[in-house]
Amino acid sequence: MKITLDITRRESPDAEPYILSAAFETVTGSETAAYALTSLNADPERRDVNGKPFPPIRWESSCLQKKCGACAMVICGKPMLACDARLEAVARGGRVTLEPLKKFPVIADLAVDREPMFAALAEMKQWLEEHGEVRPKETDRAFDASKCLQCGCCLEVCPNFCTGSAFYGTAAAVPASRLMAVTNDAERAALYRKHVYNGCGKSLACRNICPAGIDIDSLLVNSNAAAVWKRRRKGGNPWTL
């Protein structure tokens, strides 16, 4: 199937963005946006739809199998992993738009600077102050929370998140719940309230977006219970309060 890729490009952070349209032919149907970008960049003869040569497209990837979060971008309006976006499945009228994540500064083309996300984790003191094993009944929660790719898709859809604010969003809340599966001290609870709970509008826009399949709802409910509601978990769902 012939797919036209509409790629938002910028040579540098301050340069004017423009759209590059390039054709890509799928053969097996399993080709992803990541595959199309790799193939275009590997082809020294690459041309846009008007037959004009163009320089390689900057984007980030690594594992090509949904496990590293490097390739997150906005595909047909939705934040996704490029290696998980099957072109034939996401195309609208034979076209696929690829844009950089908008919540982070652009480096070039589809590559963005996600360092603010990591800086937030440092602010959140995202490490185990006292070492210890995961409590046996928390193993599943710790596993789920440890899966976070730090891709940033959840931040893209969050109405309350912007870089520079004290609210760090789901990408900080999920890792925090890993630590809470081991210990839950007052300082952690306070950091959680300050950087997650207080700023969160509970709209749950981040609900079904996570490419790692993390059950964000249930992690947030649990962490809120631990950090805000002091473990009165049976007393109803705090999200509804």
Partner 1 sequence: MGRINIIGAGLSGLSAALTLAEAGIGSRLISLQRSERSQSVLAEGGINAALDTMGENDTAAEHFADTMKGGVYLADPNAVDGLTRNAPAVVTRMAQLGVPFNRTSQNGIMQRSFGGQKKKRTAYAKSSTGKMLMTALIDEVRRYEVTGLIQRYPHHEFIRLLTDGGRCTGVRIRDTGTGLCADLDGAVIAASGGMNGMFPGRTTGTTMNGGDVTAGLFAQGVLLGNPEMMQYHPTTIGIPGKRCLISEAARGEGGRLYIMKNSGERSYFMEEKYPELGNLMPRDVVAREMFFVRRSGDTEGEVMLDMTALPEDTWKNRLSDLREEIIRYLGTDPKKSPIPVHEGIHYFMGGIDVNERHCTNIPGLYAGGECCSQYHGANRLGGNSLLGAIYGGKTAAQTAAAAFTDCPDREPIFTEMTDPLLEEARADFSERLAVILSGGLGIVRSEKTLTDAVSAAKAMDLANEREKNRLALGLAMLIGALERRESRGAHYREDYPEASEDYRKTTVAQNCGGEIRISFRDIPERRTDREDNA
Point out which residues bind ligand FES (CB under 6 A).
34, 61-64, 66-71, 81-83
Q: Can you tell me whether residue 221 is helix, strand or coil? A: helix
Distance CA(8)–CA(109), nearest Å, equals 6
Radius of gyration (Cα) for the chain, nearest Å? 20
Of the residues 74, 83, 110, 200, which one makes contact with ligand SF4 according to CB under 6 A: 200
154 binds ligand SF4 (CB under 6 A): yes
Q: Which is nearer to partner 1, 67 or 193 (CB)?
A: 67
Q: Which is it for strands 111-112 and 78-81: parallel, antiparallel or unpaired? A: unpaired
Of the residues 85, 87, 214, 226, which one makes contact with ligand SF4 according to CB under 6 A: 214
Contact 148, 203 (CB under 8 A): no
Task: Tell me which of partner 1, ligand FES, ligand SF4, none is bound by residue 93, counting a contact when its beta carbon lies within the kind-specific cut-off of 5 to 8 angstroms.
Answer: none
Phi and psi, residue 170, nearest 5°: -65, -35
Query: Which two structure tokens, joined as six digits, stand for 19?
Result: 């759209």
Instruction: Report the Cα–Cα distance between both ends of the chain, in Å, rounded.
Output: 49
Q: Can you tell me whether residue 4 is helix, strand or coil? A: strand
Phi and psi, residue 99, nearest 5°: -130, 155
- Among the candidate windows 118-126, 131-139, 142-150, 177-185, which touches ligand SF4 by CB under 6 A? 142-150
Interface residue list for partner 1 (CB under 8 A): 28, 30-32, 34-35, 38, 41-42, 44, 60-65, 67-70, 83, 107, 113-115, 118, 121-122, 125-128, 131-134, 136, 139-140, 142-143, 146-150, 175, 178-179, 181-182, 213
Binding region for ligand SF4 (CB under 6 A): 69, 148-154, 158-161, 169-171, 174, 200-206, 209-210, 212, 214
